[in-house]
Amino acid sequence: MKKDDYFLAGSLLKSSGIKGEVILKFNNDRPEEIQKLESIFIDVDNKLVPFFIEKIKSKSTSTAVVKFEDIDAEEKLIEFIGLDFYITYEQVEVLKISTDEPIDVAGYKVKDQNNKLIGEVIEYIDITKNPLLNVKTDSGEILIPAKDELIIEVDDDLQEILINIPEGLLDLD
């Protein structure tokens, strides 16, 4: 099995309880169709090892609690915590998972519509239908909506984001 034939879906975050359950952290939002996930492939020593799912339930927008078949104690999971997990591309289609790369604009300079420097992005906060940029300014931190209709341009070469700042937003210090 070559990793290139599989989709990197996330990692095993931590154990949950004492019955051998683990929290899966998805790189993108957890799929709505999570109950259809029958197995995952965990990257163990650079080899993909299949793990079959006995039970799965949603925990948050990016996590799910999973109980694997034949694993009934926390001690059996310890060696897998922090490892990446993969799924097949057929599973990606069934689960309707977005294969877009997570957005990483930390460190980008933010400028307003007049090309005036506002500050530097600390983090991109991916909230469904309301993404935000946490920006460090001279006077502190400010959250700026990162909606497509407000973003004028993203220049990856210069690491700059030109954005139409809503009137009064910068006056909220």
- What are the domain boundaries of the chain? 3-95, 109-167
Burial classification of residue 84, based on how many CB atoms lie within 10 Å of its CB (0-12 exposed, 13-18 middle, 19 or more buried): middle
Question: What was the pLDDT predicted at 103?
Answer: 61
Reported as a single tens digit per residue, the pLDDT across 104-138 is 788 999 999 999 999 999 988 877 678 889 999 99
Partners of residue 66 on adjacent β-strands: 22, 56
How far apart are the C-alpha atoms of 142 and 150, rounded to whole Å?
A: 16
CATH 2.40.30.60 applies to domain 3-95: yes
Please name the residue that has the structure tokens 């689960």: 95
Cβ count within 10 A of residue 109: 17
Domain 109-167 architecture: Roll (2.30)
Confidence of residue 101 (pLDDT cuts 50, 70, 90): low
Reported as a single tens digit per residue, the pLDDT across 138-162 is 988 989 988 888 889 888 889 999 9
How large is the C-alpha radius of gyration of the chain? 20
Give first-to-last CA distance, the chain, whole Å: 53
How far apart are the C-alpha atoms of 33 and 170, rounded to whole Å?
A: 40
Question: What was the pLDDT predicted at 63?
Answer: 86
**What global pTM score does this model have?**
0.57
How far apart are the C-alpha atoms of 94 and 73, rounded to whole Å?
A: 30
Nearest CA to 77 out of 65, 59, 89 is that of: 65
Confidence of residue 50 (pLDDT cuts 50, 70, 90): very high
Reported as a single tens digit per residue, the pLDDT across 62-91 is 788 999 998 887 777 888 999 999 999 888
Question: What was the pLDDT predicted at 26?
Answer: 85
Nearest CA to 27 out of 69, 57, 64, 53 is that of: 64
> Which is more confidently placed, 152 or 173?
152
How far apart are the C-alpha atoms of 101 and 99, rounded to whole Å?
A: 6
